[in-house]
Amino acid sequence: MKKLFGTDGVRGIANTEPMTAETVLKIGRAAAYIFKKDNTRRHRIIIGKDTRVSGYMIESALVSGICSMGVDVVQVGPLPTPGIAFITRSLRADAGIVISASHNPYEDNGIKLFSSDGYKLPESIERKIEELIATGEIDSIRPTATDIGKAYRDKDAIGRYVEFIKNSFPKGLTLDGISVVLDCANGAGYKIAPKVLTELGADVKILNDAPNGTNINLDCGAIHTDVIRKAVIGHKVDVGISLDGDADRVIFADENGNEVDGDLILAICALDMKRNKALQDNAFVTTVMNNMGLDIAMEKAGIKLYKANVGDRYVIAEMEKRNLNLGGEQSGHIIFKDYTTTGDGMITALQVLRIMKTKKMTLSALCSCMQKLPQILMNIKVKSKKPFESVPDIKKEMETTTKELGNKGRLLLRYSGTQNIARIMLEGEDIESINTMAERLAVLIKTNLG
């Protein structure tokens, strides 16, 4: 059997392998088998989803598979990925499952699993699920009568999660006087995010909060930041907040319409936490994709960076390993371990808004703590994911580019863990030069792998 799990769960085009009802049912059965630790009590698994039309089909298949193994299901409906992590912990459930393809287009879907502590599953458990499906080990396990699981809905999940997010904001402090444009990406945060901001007193203008099953991430949200940048200027507000489809990451726009990505968010928050003696060991975790400007700014501030592979699960693993309480990615996944176990777009938003409010500074002024190096990011669709070094033309161009950059820039070439996409990242002193280098590489990748 082909590998099911990528860097962030199982993902693919809905109703094609592995995201078919048949395979999803098997994933549900295998997950239930693993999380059913004994027969002395009823076991429960939480299921939530984003707003994709295929979520109904996949949810039904998962519920059937889990219940067929004698485990109960609690369905909470559309809820951000970090909300499922929280509800899993809050309800003392055995596991949590999110049906979402995050920032991907609506025709894709995926499955992410959390253990009872709200952390994403380690790769060893994912491999065990794959093995159970491939070997058919669980095919003969068929509980009957009252041992079959049952499913029911929890209508209180949204309220629980809203209060959980608000508890990350200082009591006694409000967002009165701060004006916000909020882009919900027609995704899982479309109910939660406006409630949190308005209940804390912000003046909120809401965009893309009318999901119809097919418009999630469609020309909106954290991967289409031109929307929020233009909206900030058009509405003349203090800040723009743009979530992705499952609301586990966020990108900002400052009052001048400039994009504020995860690197800048990390810089702002790390410096604030250090000032407040809240940054564990004066260090945090980022990834190999971060802008070199972050390294330079943090070195000046006496803050150490640890680098993880791309993917929030790897950032969290490095945070756990080093006992650190801050980590994140340029894409806007930011983990505040003092509050939660995974990236949470709204908790991140509240931390930035708190700093703006308490320091009485605009977001653009806060961003002056870091100067980004010119950076080019390109995504190229590929048919296969051959090692780049195994393609002579690409290998030669990588060597030429690295030599041209010297110690004044860097090249990072990698494949997406969730899509058939090659990603080029180039940094250097001159934007035109690195753009030329990126274009050369892109042509070779399209020719050889596209």
Q: How many CA atoms lie within 13 A of 267 on its CB side?
A: 28
The DSSP letter of residue 383 is: S
End-to-end Cα separation, the chain, in angstroms: 25
pLDDT on residue 1: 57
pLDDT on residue 38: 80
Count helices and strands (H / E) in the chain: 14, 19
Let me know: does 350 contact 252? Beta carbons within 8 Å.
no
Query: Which residue in the list 68, 102, 115, 168 is annotated as catalytic?
Result: 102
Q: Sign (positive/negative) of CA torsion 342, 343, 346, 352?
A: positive
pLDDT on residue 409: 87
The fold of the 159-372 domain, in CATH, is Alpha-D-Glucose-1,6-Bisphosphate; Chain A, domain 3 (3.40.120)
Strands 239-243, 250-253: pairing kind? antiparallel
Would you say the pTM of this structure is higher than 0.85? yes
pLDDT on residue 2: 65
Q: Sign (positive/negative) of CA torsion 265, 271, 275, 280?
A: positive
pLDDT on residue 450: 86
Is 102 one of the annotated active-site residues of the chain?
yes
pLDDT on residue 39: 80
Residue type, 58: I
Concatenate the DSSP letters of all residues of 155-190 into one string.
TTHHHHHHHHHHTTS-TT---TT-EEEEE-TTSTTT
Domain map (residue ranges) of the chain: 5-155, 159-372, 375-449
| CATH number belonging to the domain at 5-155, selected among 3.30.1360.70, 3.40.120.10, 3.40.50.720, 3.80.30.10 | 3.40.120.10
Q: Which residues contact 38 (CB under 8 A, 6 or more apart)?
A: none
Let me know: does 111 contact 58? Beta carbons within 8 Å.
yes
pLDDT on residue 3: 85
pLDDT in tens, 234-269: 999 999 999 999 999 999 999 999 999 999 999 999
Domains 159-372 and 375-449 equal at CATH topology level: no
Token pair, residue 255, equals 């009052």
Token pair, residue 158, equals 């949204």
What whole-number distance in Å separates Cα of residue 190 and Cα of residue 206? 9
Alpha helices, H only, 173-279: 192-199, 226-235, 262-275
State the SS3 of 275-308.
HCCCCHHHEEEEECCCCHHHHHHHHHHCCEEEEE
Let me know: does 27 contact 19? Beta carbons within 8 Å.
no
| CATH number belonging to the domain at 375-449, selected among 3.40.50.300, 3.40.50.9100, 1.20.1270.10, 3.30.310.50 | 3.30.310.50
Let me know: does 378 contact 437? Beta carbons within 8 Å.
no
Q: Is 258 exposed, middle or buried (0-12, 13-18, 19+ CB in 10 A)?
A: middle
Give the position of tokens 């990925």. 81
The DSSP letter of residue 63 is: H
Residue type, 64: S
Q: Which residues of the chain have pLDDT under 50?
A: none
Residue 383: phi and psi, rounded to 5, are: -90, -25
pLDDT on residue 168: 98
Q: How many CA atoms lie within 13 A of 111 on its CB side?
A: 31
Strands 179-183, 239-243: pairing kind? parallel
Give the position of tokens 């009802």. 21
pLDDT in tens, 121-154: 989 999 999 999 999 999 999 999 999 999 999 9
Give the position of tokens 């669709």. 381
Let me know: does 383 contact 449? Beta carbons within 8 Å.
yes
Residue type, 281: D
